[in-house]
Structure 1
Amino acid sequence: MAELSQSFVQAGHSGSNFFTDLRARYNAWRIYRRTLAELSMLSDRELYDLGVHRSQIQSIAMEASHRK
């Protein structure tokens, strides 16, 4: 019986982590999309001034979304 209670509490706790993880992933996705959109709007000259090549935009957006 005690085992069943512990399993139930652990299951509730992992559900909480699920939603926390889901929110973190959603926020990271939003940062990725925003960074990608903003950098994509820049001209090649503006990107050059920043020291960025157009082929690097996706990796820069990915790095931005995984920073804490």
Structure 2
Amino acid sequence: MGRKAWQYATTLPAEKLSQIQNPLIKPERYVEHAYNPVHRRYEYDPAGELSRTLDKLRGETQYEYEANG
């Protein structure tokens, strides 16, 4: 799709870094915790346009697009 769906910055012990590559463990598991202050979630509408961002530091921002472009 070409878009980055999520991005995070955190500090993990070395033994947990290899677990991130495990497809059975969701990356969200590491960033949803309250102790991680840097977290931003992006949501897209069915047309692929950015519709909302949720940021732990800045809160929620909603985006709307006009039909004529």
Question: Normalising to structure 2: TM-score of the pair?
Answer: 0.20
Q: Specify which structure has the higher proportion of helix.
A: 1
TM-score by length of 1: 0.21
* Larger RCO (CA within 8 A; separation ≥ 6): 1
Structure with the greater alpha carbon radius of gyration: 1
